[in-house]
Amino acid sequence: MIKIPKSLVLFGTSDPPTSNGIEITANEEVTVYVMNDVAFDSVDGYLALPVHVLGTEYYVVSSSISTIIAEQYRYSEFVVLGSHDNTTVTVNVTGDVSFNGKLYNKGDVVTFSLQTRETAQFQSGNFDLTGTHVTADKPFGLISGSKCTNIPTASQFCDHLVEQIPPVSAWGTTFVTTPLLGRFAGDVFRIVASRSNTFFNISGNYGNHTLDAGDFLEIDVPSTDSLLISSDRPLLVMQYSKGGEVDNTKSDPFMVLVVPFQQYSGSVTFATLNYTGGESGKDKITLDNHLNVNIKCDDITALNHNHQSILRNQLTWRLNVGGSDYCSAQLDIAHGLHTISHTDNKVKYSVVLHGWGSTVSYGFPVGMQVATLWCKRLTDDGDTEEYYCGPIEEDDWLDTRLLLGICIIVLIIVILIAIILIIGLSIYIHALKKRNETLHKKHKNAEAEKAVSI
């Protein structure tokens, strides 16, 4: 564990961008988790994404502003991280922010340049910045959240929210939600669209919905329920832990990405986190740590925790969530190092780590792919269209192969019919030709006999 000096912590809106970025390199693959516990007994963490998976388009995801919190603590915020020199960044803000000494209002466009490891932070004490569209001419990173917020806005106690947001090109279309273990008053979910006229369905009684680019739907889901969310275009789904006041628990708010099916990964090794006591380093707290696991139901029996089988009857699995072939479960884990693996290395699953103690909490996925799922191409009319270019689910692939097989059979039948017709036509033409030749010969013979008789 590496302690980052306080001098690198971002405070307020960047005027102008600062060189506060940290670059980590290694000679082997590593996974980096970041935990913020600077001050105010306010904690959350995120899975840091490697440079090679960063993109050029993002949407900010934050939370509603709680007006019972003092303005200097309740900021909705996001940070833009430069990964290439001379990167031109464009920000379409959804609320009032200041940058480089100038006030920008909702709908305004902010443009600036970033160098490698430079950062620019935006904050608003009165506006939820969710849906802010951030693009650039070169790949960059985006971290978003809230300095401190209440969830729900009228319920204590406030806590820090943060996640590193994947680029839109890596957003998925199908999600399974899992409630947070040890909570009883439900969880909040935000579903954010990246494209206009995005249609999606939520299982249970939540129905069908349509969102435009940058818009979101927020739902409150009971702690007993898991949901299936299915869309025709890229979505991002964020889960929020509520303040402990709502169900008399010691947890505070945090937010965590819900990983889409298309970005599930394999074996993960990770360490649970402890709260170090904030800026003072006093009163170290050991947190209660938990896992949410989503996996295909057929693959449950071969799932391992620390190389020991997680037997199906040791956990309460939510089976076939929303009518899908995926199952979800929750697991208490001790403080320390953990590995979740499967006997079949090809099997993919989602693992989310979360924990809490008195006045603090955190959550993030401990592993996920950030593969490009959405590509662009030119149409015959010269326009640009977006299309799905990611992996195909096994069942979809089976359906595709079945359809392809039927198409091939139909094509063979059509070809055979065409050959038969061609052969038949050829025989008919040949017979017609022979008949004409015979008639012509008879006609000539008749004329010759007529000539002789004359």
pLDDT tens track for 380-404: 888 889 999 998 765 554 455 566 7
Q: Considering Cα of 338, then 340, then 341, then 346, what sign does the dihedral take?
A: negative
Ranges under pLDDT 50 in the chain: 397-398
Alpha-carbon span 163 to 54, nearest angstrom: 14
Element (H, E) at 57: strand 55-59
Helix H segments across 228-316? Answer: none
The whole-number pLDDT of residue 166 equals 98
Q: What are phi and psi of 331, to 5 degrees?
A: -145, 125
The whole-number pLDDT of residue 406 equals 83
The whole-number pLDDT of residue 137 equals 97
Question: Is 443 in a helix, a strand, or coil?
Answer: helix
Q: Considering Cα of 222, then 226, then 230, then 231, what sign does the dihedral take?
A: positive
Strand-pairing partners, residue 261, are none
Residues near 61 by beta carbon (within 8 Å), at least 6 away in sequence: 130, 144, 145, 163, 165, 190, 192, 216, 236, 238, 255
The whole-number pLDDT of residue 393 equals 64
By CB atoms closer than 10 A (0-12, 13-18, 19+), residue 91 is: buried
Domain range annotation of the chain:
6-388, 394-454
The whole-number pLDDT of residue 397 equals 47
For residue 129, give the nearest of 215, 59, 62 by alpha carbon.
Answer: 62
Q: Residue 114: how many CB atoms within 10 A of its CB? A: 24
Question: Is 229 in a helix, a strand, or coil?
Answer: strand
The structure tokens 């001790």 sit at 334
Give me 12's structure tokens: 């307020």
Element (H, E) at 138: strand 133-149
The whole-number pLDDT of residue 40 equals 52
The whole-number pLDDT of residue 256 equals 97
**With DSSP H G I counted as helix, E B as strand and the rest as coil, what are the percentages for the chain, rounded to 5?**
20, 40, 40
Give me 312's structure tokens: 């199906």
For residue 171, give the nearest of 114, 123, 225, 229 by alpha carbon.
Answer: 229
Tens of pLDDT, residue by residue over 3-37, are 888 778 787 776 678 888 999 999 999 999 998 87
